[in-house]
Structure 1
Amino acid sequence: MLKSLTQEQVEHFRKFGYVAPIRVMSEKTALELRKRLEDFEHSSSPLKKKALNVKSHLLFAWLNDLVRNDKVVDPIEDLYGENLLAWASSFFIKNGHDPAYVSWHQDSTYWGLSKPDVVTAWVALSASNRANGAMQVVPGTHLLDQIPHRDTYNEHNLLTRGQEVAVEVDESQAVSIELEPGEMSLHHVRIVHGSPPNTSPERRIGYAIRYIPTYVRQLEGDDSATLVRGIDTFNTFEHEPRPTEDLDPEFVALHQRIGERNLNILYKGAAENAAAARR
């Protein structure tokens, strides 16, 4: 029995690698969450960049509630079963007339996970459309194996290493994922996707949550995740605790430790790749 998605939506995800839009909260609630985010952005906290880019759900109770929200998690269960971990989360924000972009890439490139059974829930806290740099996907590319990537470290690229696929992408096949506040999209870890700069005056705000079934393992070292549904009989990830208040000092310290460990995974081989490119 499916909990949220229709059978047609499940089949669309299997065939094309994405499904959207899915309404997970009212527009009013989405705008309330946006205000919480922007209140933090306007604060004097020294944590602003790291807090928004790495496992934000460990620092803010309201985001931890979101990654566990049934409206978000039920569609993930429809795709990958009842035992689920939230492995990572981060904001993708483009300000008005922002040159920031996301190059064509596959999420699976540097994550070190054992299987491509990974799905991203991209939750819109603002409108996301063609004018403000909505995410674009190339349908069906999730059925490909891992594609070689090159690191660019472009200053305007929102990805950790500015990584991009090292093959030509047929952009004429790309589909823009347009969402209203409170809607989300789901995309497969291997689908080729990216997003152009924001040419509008309006901010584009999305919160990306990466979910994995509990049988997926981390191959590149110790790692942690948040159990959001069911049970974990594999226990290959350290289970993350649940914050009860925002920016709890104990969770700030935990977030720092986990963030440093994860960077070792995400940037593994970066120095060697850079040296090889110079030769």
Structure 2
Amino acid sequence: MLKSLTPDQLEHFRKYGYVAPVRVMSERAALELRTRLEDFEHSDAPFRKKALNMKSHLLFSWLNDLVRSDKVVDAIEDLYGPDLLVWASSFFIKNGNDPAYVSWHQDSTYWGLSKPDVVTAWVALSESNRANGAMQVVPGTHLLDQIPHRDTFNENNLLTRGQEVAVDVDESQAVSIELEPGEMSLHHVRIVHGSPPNASPNRRIGYAIRYIPTYVRQLEGDDSATLVRGVDTYNTFEHEPRPTQDLDPAFVALHQQIGERNLNILYKGAAQSAAGRR
């Protein structure tokens, strides 16, 4: 029995590697989360960029609630079963008339995970459309093996290493994932995707949550994840605690520690160090 997705949506994900849109909250609720985000952005916290770029759900209780939301997790369970971890989360924000972009890539390239059984829930806190640089996917490319990538470290690229596929992408086949606030898309870890700059005056705000079933392992060192549903009988990831308040000093310290460890995984073999990219 499916909990959230329809049989057609499940088949679409299996055949094409993505599903959209899926409504997970009201527009009003999305605006409330956006307000919380922008209040933090306007604060004087010295680690604002890092807080939004890596495992933000460990710092903010409202984001930890979101990654556990039944509306989101039910759809993930329909894809990968009842025992689920959140491996990572981060914001992808493009300001109005922003040159920032995301190059064509596969998420699986530098994550070090043992299987491609990984799905991203991309939750829109603003409109995401062609005008403001919506994510684009190339349907069916999730059925390919891992494609070679090259690192660019372009300053306007939102990816950690500025990584891009080292093959030509037929952009005529790409589909733009257009979302309203409170909707999400789901995409497979191996689908080729990216997004152009925001040519509009309006911000584009998305929160990407990376879910894995508990049988997936980290191959490149010690790692941690948040158990959001079911049980973990494999215990290959250190389980992360749940924050009860925003920016708890103990969780800020934990976030720093986990972030340093994860950057070492993401930058393994890179010509430029993690420290040089921050």
TM-score class normalised by the smaller sequence: over 0.9
State the one-letter code of the partner of 1:80: Y
Question: Which structure 2 residues correspond to residues 1-279 of structure 1 after superposition, within 5 A?
Answer: 1-271=1-271
State the one-letter code of the partner of 1:196: P
State the one-letter code of the partner of 1:59: L
Partner secondary structure for residue 270 of structure 1: coil
State the alpha-carbon separation in 2 of the partners of residues 49 and 29 from structure 1: 24
Q: Which runs of 5+ in 1 are unaligned?
A: 275-279
State the alpha-carbon separation in 1 of the partners of residues 39 and 250 from structure 2: 22
- Root mean square deviation, CA, Å: 0.8
State the one-letter code of the partner of 1:106: Q
Q: How many Å apart are 1:248 and its aligned residue?
A: 0.1
Q: How many Å apart are 1:199 and its aligned residue?
A: 0.2
State the one-letter code of the partner of 1:204: R
Match of 2:276 in 1: none
After superposition, give the CA deviation of every residue in 1:197-235 in whole Å (9 maximum; x if it has no partner).
000000000000000000000000000000000000000
State the alpha-carbon separation in 2 of the partners of residues 77 and 252 from structure 1: 30
State the one-letter code of the partner of 2:208: A
State the alpha-carbon separation in 2 of the partners of residues 37 and 241 from structure 1: 21
State the alpha-carbon separation in 2 of the partners of residues 100 and 47 from structure 1: 20
Q: Percent identity?
A: 88
Partner secondary structure for residue 132 of structure 1: coil
After superposition, give the CA deviation of every residue in 1:226-266 in whole Å (9 maximum; x if it has no partner).
00000000000000000000000000000000000000000
Q: How many Å apart are 1:47 and its aligned residue?
A: 1.4
After superposition, give the CA deviation of every residue in 1:163-185 in whole Å (9 maximum; x if it has no partner).
00000000000000000000000
**How high is the TM-score relative to the length of structure 1?**
0.97
After superposition, give the CA deviation of every residue in 1:12-68 in whole Å (9 maximum; x if it has no partner).
000000000000000000000000000000000011000000000000000000000
Q: Which runs of 5+ in 2 are unaligned?
A: 274-278
Q: How many Å apart are 1:271 and its aligned residue?
A: 2.7
State the alpha-carbon separation in 2 of the partners of residues 72 and 245 from structure 1: 22
State the alpha-carbon separation in 2 of the partners of residues 152 and 169 from structure 1: 17
State the alpha-carbon separation in 2 of the partners of residues 98 and 203 from structure 1: 9
Number of aligned positions between the proteins: 273
After superposition, give the CA deviation of every residue in 1:183-202 in whole Å (9 maximum; x if it has no partner).
00000000000000000000
Which segments of structure 1 move beyond 4 Å, counting only runs of 4 or more? none
**How high is the TM-score relative to the length of structure 2?**
0.98
Partner secondary structure for residue 231 of structure 1: coil
Match of 1:277 in 2: none
